[in-house]
Amino acid sequence: MLNLWNEKLMINSRYYYQYSEERLSACPLTIHGLLHVADDIRFCGPSWATWTFFMERFIGYLKPVLRSKSQPWSNLNEHVKKLAYLAQLSCHYDLDDELSSYFSKGPISKREHIYDNCKSYYLNFNAGHYLIWQTVNFIVQTPLVF
Amino acid sequence: MHGLGNNILTEQDRDNICAFKLCIMSNMSHSVFNQMRHTFGHKLDISSEWVILHRMATLSGVEPKAYDCCINSCMAYTRTHAQKQLCDYCHENHFSLSGKPCQQFLYLPVGPRLTSFFQNKKMVEKLSYRCNYVSEPGTIEDVFDAEHYQTLLKSKVVIDGQEKHWRYFSGKNDIAFSLCTDGYQLLGKRRKGPSATPIVLQNFNLSPEIRIKLDDLICAGVIPSPKPPKDMASFLAPLDDEYVTLAVGLPAYDCVAKQNFTLHAYNIFMEGDIVAMEKMLGIKGHNGFSPCRSCDIKGCRDVTHGGKTYYVPLGLPGLKGKPSKQWNPKKLDKRTHEGFADRLAEIKQAGNKKHAAKLAMHYGIREAPIFGRVGSINYARSCPWDWMHLFLLNVIPNLIDHWTGNFKNLDAGTGTFEIAPQIWAEIGEETAAAVQNIPAAFVRVLSNIAEDRSLFTAESWAFWFMYIAPIVMFRQFKDPKYYHHMCALVEIMKITLQFSITYEEIDILENKIIEWVKLYEE
């Protein structure tokens, strides 16, 4: 009896679109887009090389920049112009050290260790907990205990 | 200028530059800046903001170009629009009563910035990544292994339809970059508020670890948009023209080799979400009859209920849950680069407006693609579907909407994939609790997915779906096949995330995706 019921359930339970006209909205262009992902990798390169996380990051940077609400675009124009100035200055006058957003950490202490195969992080053994810190990045990751 | 480097900078200039950097990066207000000048006044002589800004402008040599644009940002007055007095779309005035342009779009030329890279030794070394890149046969590890770049290497440069005598990327310093635009809301997340569309170039000559850093992205300007731009081509026209000068070559000086050379740079990809790509390619919207930018699949709509939107299932709706007709996912008619131009010509030659509109709808083409002057872009194929928007911001949230019964007023039909609210609430709690024990290097804090979904970013979706969902969703569906279907997508995502991928793996991936989409439709 149970088997029969199970079988019935299996036959009846369908996935999301069910080839029904009313359920067409379950198939937007984004589902279709998946079919092109493999070909895009062949033609353009790995997904990580062509994704747009960097754009979100840039936008995330621009958002708090906005100060003027009456002239928001002039405000943004001014800011990206200044960014261009900085980039140019750093190239023209060898100012990478002064203008770099990254700073390298000074000498490591006795409690810290950098492993050869993972040089961008250092492990801090402190008060019985391991903490991971990034060595070069300006934005230091929140340390977490494990 | 060549080789002068630091000699012309005074000590005060250096201090000023550092203060300028600090001021920009921290978004410092005038009062704080003045306070800083005063506080460190006994040790440092920092000039006033006004003086610094003008000194920086002179020292950097950046020459921004301002183009007038419509006050509603429908279009920019570039190329053929330059002399117009009214906007083509909203008929607002070009100039205000005082004779000044109502709105301006600031374009920051890219060429001078690219040539100045070669005055810096460290930068020259960083930029040599492309030239020194060694391909491993049979695998794709970066864009330089993929077909588009490899084809370009063998082809001659085409500018305005004319073939030139040099090949793409034949110089060791030639730069490959991609273009990305994406609109964002300036104030909060309100849909109709003012927005802006930055134009950002990503430099592929840099190694993958640094090419995405803020310092190394090149912003060519921000398109103002009280409303979304209607004629994107007019805003990007200056960039399109600059692509030509970059393809022809700019004189530059290599400070390492100590010689002059001609710098070429080519745009090889266009990136962005579906809406941005539609604008770039001049195709009709994603709800149209022929909505896909990569293939010629035709949509169908819910005629019985008067639906206006076209959807693109592989199997057309039929009776008794069986498809009436099916598209073969392995033999979809792919769009071609030439096809874009041929079809546009066909639409132009159509006898009357009605016929032209019909053809435009059939082909899903509205107007010519934006970047038409240099032949380094393949309209049909060099606009990859963005992984982040596709998987993380669309497919996964949609799946969850299905499970929680919130998907566009659709019920589960004959499916049993809906999850009871109390179970979903429990899953939410488990999600929030799980992250407490995961190092922050892997993922930031995840909130309760059942309650605070709006706090989920693309990154949170990725981590939740790939690493948490397979555990918290286990045995939560009435029928385990939904769980297996979900895990199949997780597997697909993990394959697409590989740093390097072999051609065999891509074939397997393709089959898996087809299998997944077919099941989704069943």
Residue range B184-235, pLDDT digits in tens: 988 876 667 889 999 999 999 999 988 998 889 999 999 998 888 889 999 9
In this predicted structure, the answer to whether residue B381 has a pLDDT above a threshold of 70 is: yes
User: Same domain for B146 and B230?
Assistant: yes
Residues ≥6 apart with Cβ < 8 Å to B315: A19, B323, B324, B325, B326, B327, B521
Question: Looking at the predicted structure, is the pLDDT value of residue B268 above 90?
Answer: yes
**Residue B88 C-alpha, separation from nearest chain A C-alpha, in angstroms:** 22
Q: Do A37 and B387 touch (CB under 8 A)?
A: yes
Query: Does any domain span residue B82?
Result: yes
Burial class (CB in 10 A: 0-12, 13-18, 19+), B262: middle
Tokens representing B24 are 């920009």
Residues B138 and B226 in one domain: yes
Query: Is B135 part of a structural domain of the chain?
Result: yes
Do residues A59 and A93 share a domain? yes
Asked if A137 is an interface residue toward chain B (Cβ–Cβ < 8 A), one would say no
By the 10 Å C-beta count (0-12 exposed, 13-18 middle, 19+ buried), A129 is classed as: exposed
Is B327 a domain residue?
Answer: yes
**Quick check: is B321 in a domain?**
yes
Pair B33, B49: CB distance under 8 Å: yes
Q: How far is CA B164 from the centre of its chain?
A: 29
Spatial neighbors of B485 by CB under 8 A, at least 6 apart, are A15, B516, B519, B520
Of A37, A44, A85, the CB nearest to B513: A37
Q: Are residues B352 and B447 in the same domain?
A: no
* Residue of A32, A38, A50 with shortest CB distance to B510: A38
Taking CB atoms and an 8 Å limit, are B64 and A58 in contact across chains?
A: no
Do B131 and B80 sit in the same domain of this protein? Answer: yes
Mean pLDDT for B136-150 is 93
Predicted pLDDT at B201: 95
CB contact under 8 A, B439 and A146: yes
Q: Are B500 and B139 in contact (CB under 8 A)?
A: yes
Average pLDDT over every residue of B120-144: 92
By CA distance, what is A20's nearest residue in B? B317
Q: Which residues of chain A lie closer than 8 angstroms to B330, CB-CB?
A: none
Distances in Å between the Cα of B463 and the Cα atoms of B396, B470, B476 are: 11, 11, 19
- Residue A47 has its nearest CB partner, among B321, B387, B438, at B387
**What pLDDT score does A137 carry?**
41
Task: Select from B59, B79, B99 the last residue of a domain.
Answer: B59
Q: What is the pLDDT of residue A94?
A: 79
Residue B375: inside a domain: no
Please indicate, yes or no, whether residues B312 and B448 belong to a single structural domain of this protein.
no
Is B385's CB within 8 Å of A141's CB? no
Asked if residue A142 and residue A116 are part of one domain, the reply reads: yes
Residue A112 shares a structural domain with residue A87 = no
pLDDT above 60: residue A127: no
Q: Do residue A91 and residue A115 come from a single domain?
A: no
- Cβ contact, residue pair A28, B482, below 8 Å: no
> Which residues of B fall within a CB distance of 8 Å from A95?
14, 17
pLDDT of residue A110: 74
Helix (H), strand (E) at residue B462 = helix B458-463
Same domain, B306 and B342: yes
Identify the domain containing residue A131 by its residue range: 104-146
Tokens of A28: 């937007």
Specify if B373 maps to a domain: no
User: Residue A136: which pLDDT band, with cuts at 50, 70 and 90?
Assistant: very low
Q: What is the ipTM of this complex?
A: 0.92
User: Do residue B146 and residue B70 come from a single domain?
Assistant: yes
- If you average pLDDT over residues A111-124, what whole number do you get? 71
**A107 lies within 8 A of chain B by CB:** no
Interface contact B395-A21, CB threshold 8 A? no
Q: What integer pLDDT is reported at residue B354 of this predicted model?
A: 92
Nearest residue on chain B to A51, judged by CA atoms? B386
| Residue ending a domain, choose from B23, B43, B59 | B59
pLDDT of B470: 94
B333 and B232 within one domain: no
Q: What is the mean pLDDT of chain B?
A: 90
Give the model's pLDDT for residue B190: 65
Q: In the predicted model, what is the mean pLDDT of residues A100-114?
A: 67
Q: How far is B503 from chain A (nearest CA, A)?
A: 8
Instruction: Enumerate the H helices of chain A as residue ranges.
Output: 2-12, 29-33, 37-44, 47-50, 53-62, 72-92, 96-99
Does one domain contain both A32 and A68?
no
> Is residue B162 one of the residues assigned to a domain?
yes
Q: Read off the pLDDT band of B1 (50, 70, 90).
A: very low
- Which residues make Cβ contacts (< 8 Å) with residue B350, sequence separation at least 6? B356, B359
Between positions 17 and 56 of A, the ones with CB within 8 A of B are 17-56
Q: Quote the tokens at residue B128.
A: 């040599």
| Mean pLDDT confidence for B378-387 | 93
Confidence of residue B401 (pLDDT cuts 50, 70, 90): very high
Q: How far is CA B36 from CA B73, B280, B395, in A?
A: 38, 45, 49
Pairwise CB contact (< 8 Å): A33 & B385: yes
Which of A12, A15, A55 has its CB closest to that of B485? A15
Identify whether residues B275 and B288 lie together within a single domain: no
- A146 pLDDT higher than 90: no
**Tokens describing residue B385:** 């579907």
Predicted confidence band at A56 (pLDDT cuts at 50, 70, 90)?
A: very high
User: Measured between CB atoms, which of B119, B303, B313 is closest to A27?
Assistant: B313
A5 chain-B contacts, CB cut-off 8 A = none
Distance from CA of B206 to the nearest CA of A (A): 12
Question: Is the model's pLDDT at A120 over the cut of 70?
Answer: no
Chain A residues near residue B109 by CB distance under 8 angstroms: none
Residue B479 has its nearest CB partner, among A13, A22, A55, at A13
User: Which among A19, A62, A132 has the least Cβ separation from residue B323?
Assistant: A19
Residue B441 has pLDDT above 90, yes or no: no
A94 shares its domain with A117: no
Considering its fold, how many domains does chain A have in total? 3
Residues A88 and A110 in one domain: no
Q: Do A52 and B271 touch (CB under 8 A)?
A: yes
**Closest-CA residue to B198 (of B282, B283, B276):** B276
In this predicted structure, the answer to whether residue B253 has a pLDDT above a threshold of 60 is yes
Give the pLDDT confidence score for residue B410 in this predicted structure. 85
Percent of chain B whose predicted confidence (pLDDT) is above 90? 66
**Please, what is the average pLDDT of chain A?**
76
- How many angstroms separate the CA atoms of B321 and A14, rounded? 9
Q: Are residues A88 and A125 both part of a single domain?
A: no
Domain tally, chain B: 4
With contacts defined as CB-CB under 8 Å, which chain B residues touch A19? 313, 315-318, 321-324, 521-522
Say which amino acid occupies B71.
Answer: I
Regarding whether A71 and A86 lie in a shared domain, the answer is: yes
pLDDT at res. B356: 92
Q: Both B153 and B243 in a single domain?
A: yes
pLDDT of residue B514: 95
Rg of chain B over Cα atoms, rounded to whole angstroms, equals 26
Same-domain status, A87 and A108:
no
**Do B391 and B307 share a domain, yes or no?**
no
- Assess if residue B467 is contained within a domain: yes
How far does Cα B200 stand from its chain's mean position? 8
Domain of B291 in residue numbering reads as 283-363
The answer to whether B428 and B449 have CB atoms below 8 angstroms apart is yes
CA torsion sign for B270, B274, B280, B286 is positive
DSSP label of B483: H
Dihedral, B55, B61, B62, B68 alpha carbons, nearest 10: 90
Question: Do B150 and B47 sit in the same domain of this protein?
Answer: no
* Residue A12 sits in the same domain as residue A32: yes
Q: Are residues A110 and A95 in the same domain?
A: no
Q: Which of B279, B300, B335 is the last residue before a domain boundary?
A: B279
